[in-house]
Amino acid sequence: MVVQNPSYPYSDIVTLAMTLVYKDVSCISLKQAAVIKFLKAVATELENGTGKKQTNTPTINWALFENSHPNVFQSNQDPKIQRSATLLDLYAEHAAEYNFNTSGFTSAKGEPVTESTQEILDSLVDEDNESHVNLVKGNALSYAIERFLKALLKARGIIVETIEDLIKKAKTQQEAFIKGTSV
């Protein structure tokens, strides 16, 4: 199944990255290391201006992501607190813990991605759930999310001045993406 969304004229890999960041994908057994590589690879495409619609995009099994949706769940620490299960909210929570000074996330940027996008996609989902680790806060994941969001917003012509501003504008984009509209 190929998702067609004229409001987002990006390649399927950019749309998938938006799905990973903006929707609840906790029902999918994702490998955190592959998610990090994927977001970094997509950010590079956006930064280089090659993330627009393409005819030779990698194969994506969209059926795995059909049930992705925004979701709110109860916090383990306090049952009265609800928090979202999206990567954007995980990033926002982690950034707040650093008082929105996320320069420390850069220290975990790691090596450049050398695998092809298709190789990363092939390793993204742990269909047998053998080596699945929940996506948990960490500097490497937060760095990848932040880099992707900055590249995506810049590609959309949206200027970001602070990390708080990045989160606010990304949440606006998230709402539009969920609704299938353009901002």
153-175 tens-digit pLDDT:
999 999 999 999 999 999 999 99
Res 112: pLDDT: 84
- The span from the CA of 107 to the CA of 142, in Å, is 11
- Contacting residues for 102 by C-beta, under 8 A, at least 6 apart: 95, 142, 143, 146, 163
Q: Is residue 87 part of a domain?
A: yes
Q: Is residue 88 part of a domain?
A: yes
- The span from the CA of 145 to the CA of 20, in Å, is 10
Q: Is residue 55 part of a domain?
A: yes
- The span from the CA of 153 to the CA of 94, in Å, is 20
- The span from the CA of 92 to the CA of 94, in Å, is 5
How many domains is the chain partitioned into structurally?
1
Which domain range does residue 77 map to?
12-177
| 78 to 82, 83, 85: CA distances (angstroms) | 8, 11, 15
Kindly report which listed range (31-35, 134-138, 148-152, 170-174) carries the lowest average pLDDT score.
Answer: 134-138
In which residue are the tokens 């280089």 written? 48
49-100 tens-digit pLDDT:
866 655 556 777 767 676 555 544 333 444 444 455 789 999 999 999 999 9
Q: Is residue 34 part of a domain?
A: yes
- Global pTM reads 0.79
Q: Is residue 151 part of a domain?
A: yes
Question: Burial letters for 137-152: b for 16+ Cβ neighbours within 10 Å, e otherwise?
Answer: eebbbbbbbbbbbbbb
* 8 contacts 18 by C-beta, under 8 angstroms: yes
